[in-house]
Amino acid sequence: MTWRKHTMNRPGLLACVALALVPTAGFAFQAPNPGEVAARLRTGIAEAVIAGDDDGLAEMVTLARRAATAFSENGLVHHYLGYALYRVATLRFAADPDGALATLFEAESSLLRSIELEPIPESHALMSSVLGRQIVSDETAMSLSMRAGAEMRRAVEMGPRNPRVKVLEGISAFHTPSMYGGGHDIALDRFLAAAALFEEDTPESPLPAWGRAEVQAWLGQTYVALRMPEEARAAYERALEIEPAYTWVRDALLPALSP
């Protein structure tokens, strides 16, 4: 994924950054309760992902770490820390695989705590993705694959109509060879199912709500892999209808299509 740094002036992100700058001593968060902090994390991470703002995403990790310490018994706060770390690790793999792996280990720990406190389908699905990305050798492939599969099955069981679960299922299939149960045809099926489910997806804050534009980005990539460029262009354009400032699609994926 190609990202570019942006200076963002959106109120939601500034509120999150303001919280992140609160001194850790005493954990004197300005937000009156963990639910509000989780809601601000939800907004801040989403804005950073759409804008391709890697610095903003790093700030969200800082905020989430402090929030996880201040509100150690709140499952959603731990969930958003795991989610933000997963996003950071995805960015780091090409340039710093060792650093990305360490970030994934921290994400795993946060998601385990989230599942222990307040299990939601997205935490299990993210755990599956985090474990899958940790597979870097044949020695770990078997055990991690089994754990990742079990987590995804649990996510589907808990949220059979959860579109974010379908998105993460699709990403896994996209990167898994067909001989191992993945493939672009399976990924397409998952992404199309997710896109349809997003039409009825109305999670209340601070529950996770990401993915409506992202699934179109992945649909486009899948269509490219299947040599269906017109369908890919339509998917990318739909992503920009949903999020006009979606940097990854606007500046990388769409221009990469042949004229």
Blockwise average pLDDT, block size 10, the chain, 259 residues = 38 43 42 87 97 95 96 97 97 90 97 98 98 90 93 98 98 92 96 98 97 98 97 98 98 90
Quote the CA–CA distance of 117 and 114 in Å, as a whole number: 5
Task: Decide: 129 and 171 in contact? Cβ < 8 Å.
Answer: yes
Tracing tokens 């933000």 back to the chain, one arrives at 84
Tracing tokens 């099955």 back to the chain, one arrives at 153
Res 30: pLDDT: 55
Is residue 236 a part of any domain in this protein? no
For residue 42, give the nearest of 84, 1, 90 by alpha carbon: 84
pTM of the model: 0.87
Quote the CA–CA distance of 40 and 30 in Å, as a whole number: 12
Is residue 34 a part of any domain in this protein? yes
Is residue 145 a part of any domain in this protein? no
Is residue 68 a part of any domain in this protein? yes
Is residue 186 a part of any domain in this protein? no
Res 24: pLDDT: 38
Res 32: pLDDT: 66
Q: Name the DSSP class of 93.
A: T
Which tokens in the block code for residue 78? 């731990």
Residue type, 170: G
Res 217: pLDDT: 98
Quote the CA–CA distance of 157 and 165 in Å, as a whole number: 10
Res 258: pLDDT: 72
Domain total for the chain?
1
Res 10: pLDDT: 43
142 class by beta-carbon count within 10 Å (0-12 exposed, 13-18 middle, 19+ buried): exposed
Is residue 36 a part of any domain in this protein? yes
Domain that holds residue 44: 1-118
| Alpha carbon of residue 61 to chain centroid | 13
Residue type, 70: A
Contacts of 215 (CB under 8 A, 6+ apart): 163, 166, 167, 170, 191, 194, 195, 198
Res 83: pLDDT: 98
Contacts of 177 (CB under 8 A, 6+ apart): 183
Is residue 75 a part of any domain in this protein? yes
Is residue 52 a part of any domain in this protein? yes
